[in-house]
Amino acid sequence: MPNYNRIYSIDIMRGLTLLLMLFVNDLNMQVAPSWLGHMEADFDGMGLADWVFPGFLFIVGMAIPFAFSKRFSDGQSLFDISKHILTRSLSLIIIGVLMLNTGRVDPELTGMGRNLWALLMYVAVFLFWNDYRDKENRIYTIAGFKLAALGILIYLVFKFRSGQPENNGSLITGWWGILGLIGWAYLVSAFTYVLCRDSILKTALVTLFFLVLNILSNRDLLEFLDPVKPVLGIMIQGNNPLIVLTGLLGGLIIKKIPVTEFRKVILIFIGSGLFCLASGFLLRHWFIISKIQATPSWGMICSGISFLLFILIYWLVDVMKIKAWARFLEPAGENSLTTYLAPDILYYLIWMTGVPVLIYKQSSEPLVIIAGSLAWALLMVGLTALLARFNIRLKI
């Protein structure tokens, strides 16, 4: 019988999606099989990499009812919870935009190399958003770290030049970066829970609203909203909020059904997964399956896969108590932001120093490429566990 005070399968699936994200991001796709990577924007189909990000979005939504129920039960006010949502969303958006712009650094105009700019940015992010222990007794030390981090970030922003005259060489929001997309989708979904609480019907109506937005957006029927799209484009486009909201619905289903009726949870999740898959393939008649275009068919198919994969993990881990196989994923699941960002520091160090660590990427054998990237991803999960031992873990 599962324990709803702690849904281990949420952490496990979060860790699994992060492991896969590190794996597919590291692959040399010139050699690796195409089905492991992203498909082209106009290709009707998807590879493994095209599911990984929405899989993570889905689990972001699943965790929301449990996290916010605890905040409400702890007596936090609506103002405090709203402030938490806004702070968390803004933090993700800021980090996402900074990461997005690392590839646009013009070394000559900026006055420093791209790798150095990125390294300083990541160090500042870790200094500012680290979850410091013993805060009460280290107020001034922690404040000093955060002020130093803020100073570094301000310096990097003012030094930044891209050499692109169309935006005066400054930072751009662009597509907001991966973390920025998560931030916007989390903002919508968290406030949806605050407004709808545990109502599955109300949450389903909000989810349907964003599905309709996604459909209208892909049909170019929302052009009258173009003036606000530079800021609110992710909400208007609807796809990322849609995926997080489907996860939120899944979390509500588990939260509301009594612990003794876990078989009902399994059946509902299987039914929901099949419904999403069927809806996605039905929508394929009008929209190709495309991550880059963020089509509704792609979003619904990804949510369907996530429902089915999650319930399999849930059955194994929370119902059958078969957990040993997944323990190596727990550090990543419990420290997701650290897992995602820490490897980038190593990448930029390797590129800056030229140390031949990633030699497997030069192989012409697909199996070597796959094995090397899988080993890298596993090592990065281990790095997260090691950093946690030294009290280095990001929390926003």
Tokens read off for 235:
């909400």
pLDDT tens sequence across 21-70: 999 999 999 999 999 999 999 999 999 999 999 999 999 999 999 999 99
So what's the pLDDT on residue 166? 73
Q: Is the pLDDT at 199 greater than 60, yes or no?
A: yes
So what's the pLDDT on residue 163? 84
Instruction: State the average pLDDT over residues 127-153.
Output: 95
To 5 degrees, how large is the angle CA 158–CA 161–CA 166? Answer: 120
Rounded to the nearest integer, the mean pLDDT of the chain is 95
So what's the pLDDT on residue 222? 96
Share of the chain above pLDDT 70, in %: 98
pLDDT tens sequence across 104-118: 999 999 999 999 999
Q: Is the pLDDT at 359 greater than 60, yes or no?
A: yes
Instruction: State the average pLDDT over residues 161-177.
Output: 86
User: Can you state the angle between helices 48-73 and 78-102, rounded to 10 degrees?
Assistant: 150
So what's the pLDDT on residue 336? 96
Contacts with 35 (C-beta within 8 Å, 6 or more apart), sequence order: 47, 48
pLDDT tens sequence across 178-195: 999 999 999 999 999 999
Cα-based torsion angle of the residue sequence 211, 214, 217, 221 in order, rounded to the nearest 10 degrees: -10
Residue 71 CA to residue 209 CA, distance in Å, equals 27
3-state secondary structure of 130: strand
So what's the pLDDT on residue 5? 60
Lowest mean pLDDT among 136-140, 222-226, 309-313: 136-140
Q: Is 291 buried (19+), middle (13-18) or exposed (0-12) by CB count in 10 A?
A: buried
Amino acid at 390: F
So what's the pLDDT on residue 4? 54
pLDDT band at 169 (very low <50, low <70, confident <90, very high): confident
The answer to whether 169 and 77 are in contact (CB under 8 A) is no
Q: Is the pLDDT at 13 greater than 60, yes or no?
A: yes
So what's the pLDDT on residue 3? 56
- Look up the pTM and report it: 0.95
Give the number of other CB atoms < 10 A from CB of residue 29.
14
pLDDT band at 170 (very low <50, low <70, confident <90, very high): confident
pLDDT tens sequence across 315-331: 999 999 999 999 999 99
Give the number of other CB atoms < 10 A from CB of residue 115.
18
Tokens read off for 370:
């796959």
Instruction: State the average pLDDT over residues 155-159.
Output: 96
Instruction: DSSP for 139-167, please give it.
Output: HHHHHHHHHHHHHHHHHHHHH-----GGG
User: Can you state the angle between helices 262-283 and 296-314, rounded to 10 degrees?
Assistant: 160
So what's the pLDDT on residue 1? 57
Q: Tell me, rounded to whole angstroms, the distance of Cα 46 from its chain centroid.
A: 18
Q: Is the pLDDT at 92 greater than 90, yes or no?
A: yes
The answer to whether 61 and 272 are in contact (CB under 8 A) is no
Cα-based torsion angle of the residue sequence 148, 152, 155, 158 in order, rounded to the nearest 10 degrees: -130
